[in-house]
Structure 1
Amino acid sequence: MMMHCRHFGACGSCSLYDKGYPAQVAMKMGRLSELLAPFYTGAIVPHLSPESHYRARAEYKAYHDERGAHYAMRHLNKKDFVFLEECPMVLPAIERRMWRLMEAVNADETLRHKLFGVEFLATTTGECLVTMLYHKKLDEAWRSRAEALAGLLDAHIVGRSRKQKVVIGEEFVTEELEIGGRRWRWRHYEQSFTQPNPAVNARMIAWAVTQAARYAAGDLCELYCGSGNFTLPLSPLFGKVIATEISKRAIKAALENCGLNGVEHIAFLRMSSEEFTEALEGRRRFRRLEGVALEDYDLQTVLVDPPRAGLDDATRSLLARFETILYISCNPETLARDLGTLTRTHRIVEAALFDQFPYTPHTEAGVVLKKVR
């Protein structure tokens, strides 16, 4: 059934509110087909989202008036705000806490005063972390109230103000997803990047694992690896894995996630894709590579999951050397641009759509490319 929300037509989060879910998917499939048409005319496999309660992350403005504080989102007109009375797109772990939290805030001046934002990070197993953003210093009185609130909500709480962070409980949640018959675990840290839609993320990872099992060769190189979202479930398919990420916190989480899952053969490097390209081509030496002998890797398969800007020129050039390319894209427009270069040496053999963001025009895609002989 299609999600129903009393704020459709006003709240800017769901701009495709007037289309049923099948129509949304058809529109996205049509656009992705247009973008891939110059390079690929085969089937594009859609991987759909639950139609409600699908988001594991949510960020709200705290708007204050004479009645108290309210969750607010920007209006579709981009000028006004909408006070929320429901938000059926969030996971149940968020939904069952968010209204109790706001009731507690409005009953306690210490919690409410100068609160300007609330962020939620949750898991499919019911864990939840709440970040409360303030324009004031957080003192011991606030900590005492926040500790009581954490107990009331059965949640971790992080309070943030300028140059200050107060953690009640943990600053991460631990997600568990079943991929290919195995349970995998990831720590997701507060205010770090995580995939927003766990159900689609599980399907996206499973797709990547299936394609790697079918097309991969040699050892795996992953660029933009984050905290190991793809790296860990892909790792059993390869003798050696090397993965790069620029974020120090993401690398920390990735190493912790290896420990959680008993994986020992992944080398995580805190490097940008541009730096790794220079290292792999022997154009620059890095102290961060001490103890990692790149010449010992038979790097024939690469997975890239770049930001919306897509790949830079050097990385596009680097990918030409790999036998198999798995490209996960959060922006099909830049994917199409990059394919203009990649298809000079490779051809697309598989394509998929991942609907991480229902009720919005946003589309994510995946393609597999094999080197042309």
Structure 2
Amino acid sequence: MKCDYFGVCGSCALALPYEEQLQKKVDEFEELFGHRAQVFASKPIHYRARAEYRIAQGSYAMHRLDGAGLVAIERCPMVIEPIYDLMPKLLEAIKAKELMHKLFRIDFLSGLSGEVLATLVYHRPIDEAWEERAKEIEEEFGIKVIGRSRGVKRVLSEDFITERLMIGAREYRYRHYEGSFTQPNPYVNVKMIEWTLERSENLGGDLLELYCGAGNFTLPLSKNFGKVLATEVSKSSIKAAKENRALNDISNVEFVRLSSEEVSEALQGRRFRRLEGIDMSSYDFSCVFVDPPRCGLDDATRDVIAKFENILYISCNPKTLHRDLQELTKTHTIEHLALFDQFPYTNHLEAGVFLRR
């Protein structure tokens, strides 16, 4: 990647040419798992749709790769073009509007839709005078601006962007809220969604999804199944998922706030108030889809999904995936393994596994 700070800035911890760093990660993965995998590469530049930057001495700053403090940067070629183009202009406008005082960090959120949301985080109270000047920045650049200080969040227009993803021949829209989890690499995210669609295309029946988030996978997957029951523990994610369902006019998905342990109990007949109006016995689940956090699956969740004929598993941590597969392959066979370079120039690698009993 052509970057003035490559090998100095700690954001790119694996500071190698793109193909070399990808091959290194693939080799390590395949050695650990003993399986060949289909590999989905990322764009080598302008691929990241959310990022956080410290502000130090009037500049963007990142931690140095050698750990020796911060390195000042003008902008970052890792981020997608709408953020990359905005970075220097936004900082100059903040200085011109006299909004730099105790500005600690700027967080960016964008996507393939081109919308940008910038959150300005301060170590001081922000007031109406700040709001008036920040509103001028919103209007000048056509972006959304949020101000944060201790215990305060000032939303000038909206606290989300609307992302648009083309999956096959259909466009899906998603509200991505400030401060909530979203897939950081939208180009690879599309490849991940398309992979899950291909793997589940002929399964029929209904789908159970755990860790559904705001419906990133759920909504496209709904076309492959009669009905989908998608669960998640986060209230804010369930709220966004329901909004996204309405945005896309999808009617065969139910989003419910349940933990994986509660899902297990519900499958065994326990009633929950949050399942009011949902008849669990009406589902004919042919597949379970999981996309857990880095810690992977707990024992109870592994026991739940092992009861399903087909398992789709997206993992952001090969080590915990390897641990989980040691148990799941006692009852299931790995039919397909895929790798997604969600985080170029780092040691992180996303994986997808399709298992069948």
Contact 1:211 1:368 in 2 (8 A): yes
Contact 1:6 1:86 in 2 (8 A): no
Cα distance in 2 for partners of 1:36, 1:174 equals 38
Partner of 2:52: 59
Which of 308, 329, 341 is residue 355 of structure 1 equivalent to? 341
Determine helix, strand or coil for the equivalent of 1:243: strand
Which of 1, 5, 10 is residue 3 of structure 2 equivalent to? 5
TM-score w.r.t. length of structure 1: 0.94
Partner of 1:261: 248
2:24 is the counterpart of 1:27: yes
One-letter amino acid of the structure 1 residue matched with residue 73 of structure 2: L
Report how far residue 300 of structure 1 moved. 2.0
Contact 1:231 1:243 in 2 (8 A): yes
Determine helix, strand or coil for the equivalent of 2:271: coil
Partner of 2:209: 222
State how 1:176-195 maps to structure 2 within 5 Å.
Answer: 176-195=164-183
Contact 1:223 1:303 in 2 (8 A): yes
Contact 2:219 2:245 in 1 (8 A): yes
Cα distance in 1 for partners of 2:319, 2:268 equals 28
Which of 108, 114, 124 is residue 120 of structure 1 equivalent to? 108
2:84 is the counterpart of 1:87: no
- 1:38-63, Cα deviation, whole Å (9 max, x unpaired): xxx3x411111011000000101111
- 1:318-364, Cα deviation, whole Å (9 max, x unpaired): 11111110000000110000001101110000010000111111101
Partner of 2:260: 273
Report how far residue 271 of structure 1 moved. 1.4
Could you list the runs of 5+ residues in structure 2 that have no partner in the other structure?
none
Cα distance in 2 for partners of 1:125, 1:318 equals 37
Partner of 1:131: 119
Cα distance in 2 for partners of 1:307, 1:100 equals 36
Determine helix, strand or coil for the equivalent of 1:9: coil
Determine helix, strand or coil for the equivalent of 2:229: strand
Partner of 2:12: 14
Report how far residue 108 of structure 1 moved. 3.0
Determine helix, strand or coil for the equivalent of 1:104: helix
State how 1:135-284 maps to structure 2 within 5 Å.
Answer: 135-214=123-202, 216-282=203-269, 284=270
One-letter amino acid of the structure 2 residue matched with residue 53 of structure 1: H
Report how far residue 97 of structure 1 moved. 1.2
Partner of 1:73: 62
Report how far residue 24 of structure 1 moved. 1.2
Determine helix, strand or coil for the equivalent of 1:360: coil
Cα distance in 2 for partners of 1:228, 1:206 equals 14
Cα distance in 2 for partners of 1:320, 1:293 equals 22
Contact 2:207 2:285 in 1 (8 A): yes
Partner of 1:290: 276
Q: What do you get for the CA RMSD once the two structures are aligned?
A: 1.1
Number of aligned pairs? 357
One-letter amino acid of the structure 2 residue matched with residue 100 of structure 1: K
Contact 2:232 2:258 in 1 (8 A): yes
State how 1:331-370 maps to structure 2 within 5 Å.
Answer: 331-370=317-356
- 1:209-245, Cα deviation, whole Å (9 max, x unpaired): 000114x242000000000000000001111100011
Contact 2:214 2:237 in 1 (8 A): yes
Cα distance in 2 for partners of 1:121, 1:315 equals 32
Determine helix, strand or coil for the equivalent of 1:149: helix
Contact 1:5 1:86 in 2 (8 A): no
Cα distance in 2 for partners of 1:326, 1:217 equals 14
TM-score w.r.t. length of structure 2: 0.98
Determine helix, strand or coil for the equivalent of 2:201: helix
Cα distance in 2 for partners of 1:163, 1:285 equals 37
Report how far residue 261 of structure 1 moved. 0.8
Report how far residue 36 of structure 1 moved. 1.8
Report how far residue 278 of structure 1 moved. 2.2
Report how far residue 85 of structure 1 moved. 2.1
Contact 1:217 1:324 in 2 (8 A): no
Determine helix, strand or coil for the equivalent of 1:112: coil
Determine helix, strand or coil for the equivalent of 1:234: helix
Could you list the runs of 5+ residues in structure 1 that have no partner in the other structure?
none
Cα distance in 2 for partners of 1:369, 1:102 equals 49
4+ aligned runs moved over 6 Å, structure 1: none
Cα distance in 2 for partners of 1:245, 1:93 equals 31
Cα distance in 2 for partners of 1:168, 1:99 equals 21
